[in-house]
Structure 1
Amino acid sequence: MVVMTVGLPPFQALVDAHWRDVARLARALAGPVDGDDVAQRAWEKAFAAYPGLTSAKNLRSWLLTITARCATDVHRARKPQRPLDDAPAVAVDGPDAAAWPDPNLWQAVNELPERQRYAITLKYVGDLDHHGVAAALDTTPAASRRLVSDALATLRRTLGVDA
């Protein structure tokens, strides 16, 4: 027997409505190599948590927050958890910016500090407002605005674009 919370659409309707947004954000945050895995992991987590939701309000933001957190998990897994003094240094590559449209822009985005990179990606690729970005990054809307503003200023400087 399937129990649905009042107001929630069937999960398949949620997937149909938002799969492109989840896939696009996952690829933007994790890159073309890990993007599909991040999107899949996000849908799995959303499916597991869906029966416990009590409101259908902001389902898109809820999904994109899960996607951003899954991408964060992938980035954290790439980093060594503790320094190894006797181990040789190993370079860990992020997304290949050359494979994306406008590679100079994406290279500059990849070089931003992590929180700025996530904030600007959630804002412009995920199309979240500052409340949604703040929820995804566990911060305030004011801090979200600042992160996006700082990221834009850095990108303008790096790319030589006048505001």
Structure 2
Amino acid sequence: MVSEHVTLPPFQALIDEHWRDVARLARALAGPVDGDDVAQRAWEKAFAAYPGLTSARNLRSWLLTITARCATDVHRARRPQTPLDDAPPVAVDGPDAADWPDAHLWQAVNELPERQRFAVTLKYVGDLDHHGVAAALDTTPAASRRLVSDALATLRTRLGVHDE
């Protein structure tokens, strides 16, 4: 089998093209306090893995998947080590009002279960298709569709939006 040499753009070109997407998704998933750290961690992981890539297709999706996984790591680190049965759910601070003017919507998004919150954010903030969302969440595209659908149904109910 003959291996083909993959031509990747310079890493700086990747940063220049996608830094806004990575920063926006990191802040949407991890909140304004941890968003910058998540974005930085994502770029570090991407830089380390970049020379070993075997395909230059869909680098944006690859970066956003790394970003989502870094945000997941932050959320896992926040969880208490022992479960607290009577503890109320803790919502992550959402994006700053300057970045996302609809604070009421983002409060409702922050109250979604973690996988639904990540799925809907990857889909609509990260602009990933269901295959990209599935890759980021280590699930199937069908499960991604279900997570997004359930999240949207919950948001419609909480925000009083009715289909007509």
TM-score by length of 2: 0.88
Q: Give the 5 Å matches for 1:51-70.
A: 51-70=51-70
Following the alignment from structure 1 to structure 2, what is the Cα–Cα distance between the partners of residues 136 and 108?
22
Q: Secondary structure at the match of 1:6?
A: coil
Assess if the C-alpha contact under 8 Å between 2:31 and 2:93 holds in 1. yes
Following the alignment from structure 2 to structure 1, what is the Cα–Cα distance between the partners of residues 121 and 92?
15
Instruction: Please provide the CA RMSD for this pair.
Output: 2.1
Query: Relative to 1, partners in 2 of residues 1:124 and 1:8: Cα closer, same or farther, differing over 3 Å?
Result: same
Assess if the C-alpha contact under 8 Å between 2:23 and 2:39 holds in 1. yes
Worse-superposed segment, 61-70 or 93-102: 93-102
User: How many equivalent pairs are there?
Assistant: 156
Q: Secondary structure at the match of 1:74?
A: helix
Query: Relative to 1, partners in 2 of residues 1:133 and 1:83: Cα closer, same or farther, differing over 3 Å?
Result: closer
2:111 is matched with: 111
Following the alignment from structure 2 to structure 1, what is the Cα–Cα distance between the partners of residues 135 and 34?
23
2:141 is matched with: 141
Q: Secondary structure at the match of 2:157?
A: helix
TM-score by length of 1: 0.89
Instruction: Select which of 84, 92, 95 maps to 2:93.
Output: 95
Following the alignment from structure 1 to structure 2, what is the Cα–Cα distance between the partners of residues 112 and 52?
36
Report the residue type matching 2:19 in the other structure. Answer: W
Following the alignment from structure 1 to structure 2, what is the Cα–Cα distance between the partners of residues 61 and 36?
19
Structure 2, unaligned stretches of length 5 or more? none
Following the alignment from structure 1 to structure 2, what is the Cα–Cα distance between the partners of residues 150 and 90?
22
Give how far 1:137 is off.
0.3
